Amino acid sequence: MDATRLDELQRAEALAGLPGWAPVPGRDAIGKVFRFADFNAAFGWMSRVALMAERLDHHPEWRNVYNRVEVVLTTHDAGGVTGRDIVLARFMDAAAG
Amino acid sequence: MDATRLDELQRAEALAGLPGWAPVPGRDAIGKVFRFADFNAAFGWMSRVALMAERLDHHPEWRNVYNRVEVVLTTHDAGGVTGRDIVLARFMDAAAG
């Protein structure tokens, strides 16, 4: 998917297929909080996501505290959410099982 | 080092040997912002720190955006900064080169 900014309808359609993801208040971005069994599981997941982020050349904003990872996705170059964020969000969900 | 909460003097002494680390406003915690060449370097460093965190069974709070990692260290069980935070901070600095 390309890096054109999604309009409101396109973003809503994409979010409908991404359980747990929601718009980030005050930003053109989407976010989700992932919870894992422990740090091992959380960082293992982050490592898989990091490899995919490099492959896509598209990187998350994320914060980790032990078993919890808060993620924000946006495409800085486009000034908002694009198809690249949706691709990465889907991969994150799939990798989280 | 043990997990007894450092008093103000002990914490100041420890921070004096840790360039770039500072108390986190409003919390009994220390923090530092690390900057790397790119995401590859940032996440590579995070991976080394994650392995050490597991070995120490002591984990950071951290936020990564591309080449930047904001770290906060505190010992939740002790309600403040302990020797374990100082050990992890030193490792982070050494691993960042």
- Distance, in Å, from the CA atom of A71 to the CA atom of B90, rounded to the nearest integer, reads 27
Task: Render each residue's pLDDT in chain B as its tens digit; 97 residues.
Answer: 678 999 999 999 999 999 999 999 999 999 999 999 999 999 999 999 999 999 999 999 999 999 999 999 999 999 999 999 999 999 999 999 8
Q: Residue A13 is inside which H or E element, if any?
A: helix A8-16
Interface subset of A 4-33, CB within 8 angstroms of B? none
Nearest 5°: the CA angle B58, B47, A67 is 50
- Distance, in Å, from the CA atom of B4 to the CA atom of A94, rounded to the nearest integer, reads 41
Domain that holds residue B72: 8-96
The total domain count for chain A is: 1
Evaluate whether residue A2 is within a structural domain: no
pTM flag (> 0.90):
yes
Evaluate whether residue A1 is within a structural domain: no
Structure tokens at A23: 């718009």
- Residue B97 amino acid letter: G
Closest approach of B64 to chain A, Cα-based (Å) = 6
Interface subset of B 28-47, CB within 8 angstroms of A? 39-40, 43, 46-47
Enumerate residues 6+ apart whose C-beta is below 8 A from A15.
A21, A22, A23, A30
- Domain containing residue B71: CATH number: 3.30.1360.20
- Distance, in Å, from the CA atom of A71 to the CA atom of B37, rounded to the nearest integer, reads 22
Q: pLDDT tens digits, residue range A25-81?
A: 999 999 999 999 999 999 999 999 999 999 999 999 999 999 999 999 999 999 999
Q: What ipTM does this complex have?
A: 0.95
Evaluate whether residue B69 is within a structural domain: yes
DSSP B48-72: HHHHHHHHHT---EEEEETTEEEEE
Under a CB-based contact definition with an 8 Å cutoff, are residues A19 and A96 in contact?
A: no
